[in-house]
Structure 1
Amino acid sequence: MDETSGRRTKCSICKQGGHYRNTCPQNTEIAQQGRRHLEEAGPVDESVLTEQHLHRSSFITTEGYRGVQFIEHGRKLNQWELDHPAVLDLLRQSGFYYISRLRRLQLDQALLGALIERWRRETQTFHFRHGEMTITLQDVAVISGLRVDGAPVTGTTVYPWPDICQALLGVVPDDIRAGQIRLDWIYQQFHHLHLDAPAGLVAATARAYILYQIGCSLFPNPTGYRVHLKWLPLIADFDACGALAWGAAALAYLYRALGSAALKGKVECCCFATLVQIWAWDHLHVGRPTSVGAVADMADCPMGCRYDI
């Protein structure tokens, strides 16, 4: 027990004031409990979590352990502010209007790093002491506004890329490598559009923005400066594009990225990290900012926009 002298409490271990035995640096029992928790980071029964020997939680206490750096090219995406009415109409038609309203966050690497250490790809869930939690299709739809039902996002990667670019973007990039083009080229070529621009250029700009959104955030490339043209045929027709389950595809890509990053030796996770962070704010309430003041501020926005950031 701790001793009370007048109004001052003394630690029963070191006999010093200002703290209790549970926080005493000389309390070896607490230190041993902490070490035991680290040593027992994995499951007691491995019949479900069969990849514990590969999971990063088995190596947290080893020398040279490195955490995971989450990568999302949000700064690139936030610099493109859309205000052309005709482009916004096409984004609505294609299902990308609401996601265009969601600004990307400055990532909380400590929060995301703590989450990845608890992600298990065997169950596609985060494992906490109180149970399991995961990011669902409903979370994707509510936070981002992307469609989660509809036709699957699939296709081929074999196309004559210069011809595809000419037909759908109206211009051929000068640096197509392995079917990929530079994100900076897309931004410089299409970010400024006059109000009296012809319909063909408006459509090309809308496709370019969707491709830019895909390359920066939904399906990002770790290099941070290229996006694959395989997505372009899927956004050729805006009505057909709007019928695709882009939210389900983004979640599947996220699951795969989290599963890979949760393994030992991985040092980066390139994914839709803004979705993960807002989900954590919604469900775990750790380090989240204040919400917007009124419901009116949320008009025509997905719920991921409700934080004052």
Structure 2
Amino acid sequence: MSISLEDVSILLKIHVTGKVVAVENFARYIEESRSDTIKVVSKLLGVSIEDVEDEVNISKGLTVRKCWLKSRWCPKVGSSDTTYPPADCTARAYLLYLHSCTIFADKSGFRVSIALLKLLEDLDDMGKYAWGAAALAYLY
């Protein structure tokens, strides 16, 4: 017996029909031009290019650490820094973190692929994707 799309729909309460969740074109793009990718991540998350570059170097690949990502929307207690990125950037950081902990969790447990960020570029499209089908495919 294996898990079906109906099981995913019932258990996770997420859409199994809709736009295809595919990041292969973005994954190919980020391999070709690392500096352009860093600029895109900087724009979508509302952080400086230098911060993204440092994080990508620390995480050793085209990934970011979950703790770094969390710091994009959750300031440190007692921090005097009161500058926050725009609300849409904060939402993207949170959603990327959430997806990496739930339907796209991997064995590393502490890194997030920035290829998923491409799916979060237009926040209005989030409800149109077949996240349940993606979760099942990723599980297999």
TM class by shorter chain equals: 0.7 to 0.9
How far has the Cα of 1:185 moved from its partner?
0.5
Q: Aligned partners of 1:144 and 1:201: how far apart in 2?
A: 30
Give the structure, 1 or 2, with the largest relative contact order (CA under 8 Å, sep 6 or more). Answer: 2
Which residue does 1:175 correspond to in 2?
A: 55
Residue deviations 1:44-97, cap 9 Å, x none?
A: xxxxxxxxxxxxxxxxxxxxxxxxxxxxxxxxxxxxxxxxxxxxxxxxxxxxxx
Which residue does 1:185 correspond to in 2?
A: 68
| Residue aligned with 1:178, SS | coil
> Which of these residues, 195, 200, 216, is aligned with residue 101 of structure 2?
216
How far has the Cα of 1:231 moved from its partner?
0.6
Q: TM-score, normalised by structure 2?
A: 0.74
Structure showing the higher strand proportion among its residues: 1
Which residue does 1:139 correspond to in 2?
A: 7
Q: Does 1:154 align with 2:30?
A: no
Which residue does 2:111 correspond to in 1?
A: 226
| Residue aligned with 2:64, SS | strand
How far has the Cα of 1:149 moved from its partner?
0.2
Residue deviations 1:12-64, cap 9 Å, x none?
A: xxxxxxxxxxxxxxxxxxxxxxxxxxxxxxxxxxxxxxxxxxxxxxxxxxxxx
Moved over 3 A (4+): none
C-alpha RMSD of the superposition: 2.2
Which residue does 2:41 correspond to in 1?
A: 165
Q: Give the AA of the match of 1:247.
A: G
Which residue does 2:79 correspond to in 1?
A: none
Rate the CA distance shift 1:243–1:161 in 2: closer, same or farther, 3 A.
same
Residue deviations 1:196-218, cap 9 Å, x none?
A: x9xx6211111111111222221
| Residue aligned with 1:227, SS | strand
How far has the Cα of 1:241 moved from its partner?
2.6
Q: Aligned partners of 1:175 and 1:169: how far apart in 2?
A: 13
Q: Give the AA of the match of 1:189.
A: R
Q: Aligned partners of 1:234 and 1:166: how far apart in 2?
A: 15
| Residue aligned with 2:112, SS | strand
How far has the Cα of 1:161 moved from its partner?
2.2
- Gapped runs of 5+ residues in structure 1? 1-132, 256-309
Q: Give the AA of the match of 1:146.
A: I
How far has the Cα of 1:240 moved from its partner?
2.1
Structure index of larger Rg: 1
How far has the Cα of 1:170 moved from its partner?
0.3
Q: Aligned partners of 1:253 and 1:165: how far apart in 2?
A: 23
Q: How does 1:1-309 map to 2 (within 5 A)?
A: 133-155=1-23, 156=25, 157=27, 158-159=29-30, 160-171=36-47, 172-173=51-52, 174-176=54-56, 177-192=60-75, 201-255=86-140
Structure showing the higher helix proportion among its residues: 2
